[in-house]
Structure 1
Amino acid sequence: MCDAAVTVKVKYSVSSLPIATAKEVFDLVRDDLSAVEREFGRQSKSEVVVIQDIARYLLSGGGKRIRPLLLLLSAKALGFTGESRIRLGAVVEMLHTATLVHDDIIDEAQTRRGKPSANTAWGASKCVLAGDWLYMQSFQTALDERNFKILDLLIGLTQQMVEGELLQMQKLGHLINEEEYFDLIFRKTAMLFKVSMQLGAALAGVDETVEQQLGEYGRNLGLAFQIVDDVLDLVGEEATLGKPAASDLREGKATLAVIHALERGTGAEREAIRTVLADRDFTRVKHATILEILRGHGSLEYAMDAARAYAEAARQSIADLPQANAEAGRALRALLWVPGYVTDRDR
């Protein structure tokens, strides 16, 4: 039985602990996230002007900052409030940003968050090197913590992300099954969510059991996040997404709803989907036709059900996390809020 089929059965409630509101979460982390932004800017300073220019451009593009948010909440939920959480928050955002730069080059993306992508503005060659610089700078910052556990987590993360990108490149235009899909999105997305949570645990110096709980939360949340991203890519509007709709299909990527429809469609429907994946455009088969096939088989709702199940599994994994003080309790309530935000968003 596939991973998704197991998790969609999770229906029970998480905890008697109330879930925070969006305002409560924002009030709790607003100052810390601002500090992370400043630290990112400080760490991305270089004598080579183009590196600074690209880093500033990427930082000004906004983004959800969900990875540093997770690290901050993880550390706070365990009672750690030292400055290291700000530095490592910048580290995970730098790693994420470097990954986006390289992804846009590989995908030949023209836009990112409604703006020209960095590779469009500066060219692929400069952006490859700027992405490499961000990777190295993030490790330099992490090295200053003098914590082998942190370095071990970041090295394992980077290896998984690179392997995930290479695996995805091998599979572009080809049909994959759910097991392969979940392996890819774990490597490319959920691993960074998992490590962001584990870094908070590493700073707090908690035992391995608690670290595993937080890592499981991050893994499940990351899977939910990517599944929702993939559904939004299929059904969203370019103005909302900040990039062309159905970019995944245009790049030859089969995501969960598409895999579900391929397994249940008629011969003609499967051939239509295969055509789009092979052509990497909607010249012979229209986007609307693919959406009709997906809706006809309940494939979009199937994917969203899987995302909601992973979100609930994330909550379940930290339901009994010890609370050191009132501030830790507020952070835990905020972590219980994040899965709902992930599944309910429209971009």
Structure 2
Amino acid sequence: MTSQAATEAAENGARAFARSPGSGALAGKVRDRLAERWRRETSLLGTMCTEALVPSGKLFRPILLLESALAVGGDAEVVLPAAIGAECGHVASLVHDDIIDKDDLRRGKPSVQHKFGADNAILAGDALIFDLFSALAECRRTGASAERIVAALEVVARCGIDLCRGQSLEAELGERMDFDLDAYLTVVRLKTATLFRSACECGALLAGGDERMVRTLGSYAENLGCAFQIHDDLMSYTRETGVMGKPDTSDVRNGRPTLPVILAYQAATPADRAAITDILVGDGAPDVRRELLVSVMDRTGALRTADRLARKYSENAVAMASRLPVAASRDRLCGYARAAVERDR
């Protein structure tokens, strides 16, 4: 593939992802399997799991897993069950997040905890976590070796523990109103980037990738995950609920010091610092508090600074993906990294 063709493929991947996340044949297979995954289970649990999975979101993590398999020269059909599992695990984390944050909206519809209650939602999230492991085991029937499945299980287990560490640290930072940039970035790596890393490493492992390829894709995914989460944090203050499909006041309502808030605090005057703290711990209307916080961010340039950092991580991800063998999948991975900081939801 020529450099011009590679650039065009990457740009096309970015545009396609930004315009219609989860589009294409690979995503179609994942979406169809997800729709059927729990529908034969006629119990309340099956209903809740189906509600959580369907309609599907961007399908970013399963697509990353499939593209990683292709990038190391593997067969997407071999790792397809693992891709289904990646989405189950991701959705489980969203179900549990909505319980913790008391969010009533997810993907533009009532969250599982809002519709069925927190107790039932905990069970649904737990079931989807175990379904992730079940899906990985299904790769035995599609051609993955037992040794590589065990290696992938280790990656997923480590990811789950990191996810819990990140959630716990985030809660600690919120409780003590800690505006520590390094601690925030640690939370991002543990809560978000680890899911991306797990998807890419599992795809490469199950498809027969060597240690260098697995390591390269893991580094790509970690940078991509950081870019993705920082952009998400930005959208909480630059997009509205109707666009994002989830509450735009969640971070303010939960007193969460995300990157734009931390950067605003660090650059603010003493008066604005006091205002930021009051906004996050206050009891006023969340939409009013959000508007006041955005005004401080505008004065301090925090939104622009956060955007630059997200783009830096995106560029790092592109650089890592560029180390992979020349292939259309590699160029799509580069495109996804660029699109992660251009999307509006």
1:187 aligns with 2:190: yes
**Displacement, 1:263?**
1.1
CA displacement 1:84-129 (0-9 Å, x = unmatched)? 3210110110000000000001111111122111111111111101
Provide the aligned C-alpha RMSD in A: 2.2
Per-residue deviation at 1:45?
4.8
Using the alignment, how far apart are the partners of 1:343 and 1:54 within structure 2? Answer: 32
Q: Is the alpha carbon distance of 1:28 and 1:207 closer, same or farther for their aligned partners in structure 2, counting shifts above 3 Å?
A: same
DSSP-derived class of the 1:33 partner: helix
Find the counterpart in structure 2 of residue 21 from structure 1.
Answer: 12
Query: Which stretch of structure 1 is more off in the superposition, 298-307 or 47-56?
Result: 47-56
SS at match of 1:83: helix
C-alpha displacement of 1:236: 1.1
Distance 1:210 1:269, change over 3 A: same
Listed as ranges, the gaps of 5+ residues in structure 1 are 1-14, 324-328
Say if 1:284 and 1:101 are closer, same or farther in 2 by CA, change over 3 A.
Answer: closer
Q: Distance in 2 between matches of 1:80 and 1:281?
A: 54
1:262-341 aligned at under 5 Å gives the runs 262-279=265-282, 281-282=284-285, 286-323=289-326, 329-341=327-339
1:112 to 73, 84, 106: 106
Who is 2:143 aligned against?
Answer: none
Distance 1:281 1:193 in 2: 36
The structural deviation recorded for 1:168 is: 1.6
Is 1:227 aligned to 2:230, yes or no? yes
> In 2 relative to 1, CA 318–280 (structure 1 residues): closer, same or farther, beyond 3 Å?
farther
Following TM superposition, by how much is the alpha carbon of 1:281 offset from its aligned partner in structure 2, in angstroms?
Answer: 4.6
Q: How does 1:56-71 map to 2 (within 5 A)?
A: 56-71=50-65
Output the CA distance in 2 between the equivalents of 1:150 and 1:50: 31
Q: Which residue of 1 aligns with 2:48?
A: 54
Answer with 157-166 or 16-25: which moved more. 16-25
Relative to 1, partners in 2 of residues 1:284 and 1:82: Cα closer, same or farther, differing over 3 Å? Answer: closer
* 1:276–1:282 Cα contact (<8 Å) kept: no
Tell me the distance in 1 between the aligned counterparts of 2:287 and 2:135.
49
- Which of 18-27 and 220-229 deviates more? 18-27
Paired letter, 1:115: K
Per-residue deviation at 1:44?
3.0
Deviation at 1:286, TM superposition (A): 3.3
What TM-score, normalized by structure 2, do the two folds share?
0.89
Q: 1:54–1:284: structure 2 CA closer, same or farther, 3 Å change rule?
A: closer
Q: 1:139 Cα deviation (Å)?
A: 0.7
Q: Percent identity?
A: 31
Give how far 1:196 is off.
0.8
Counterpart among 148, 158, 161 of residue 159 in structure 1: 161
Aligned residue number for residue 141 of structure 1? 135
Q: Is the 8 A contact 2:241 2:247 kept in 1?
A: yes
Corresponding residue for residue 72 of structure 2: 78
Matching residue's letter, 1:79: G
Pick from 234, 240, 243: which aligns with 2:243? 240
Cα shift at 1:78:
1.5
The residue type paired with residue 258 of structure 1 is V
For the Cα contact (< 8 Å) 1:249–1:281, is it kept in 2? no
CA distance in 1, matches of 2:245, 2:189: 24
- Letter aligned with residue 248 of structure 2: A
Q: Name the aligned partner's letter for residue 110 of structure 2.
A: P
Aligned to 1:6: none
- 2:215 maps to 212
* Unpaired stretches in structure 2, ≥5 consecutive residues: 140-145
Task: Name the CA shift for 1:283/1:67 in 2 (closer, same or farther; >3 Å).
Answer: closer
Give the whole-Å Cα distance in 2 for the aligned partners of 1:172 and 1:44.
Answer: 36
Contact 2:70 2:76 in 1 (8 A): no
- Give the Å deviation of 1:55: 1.9
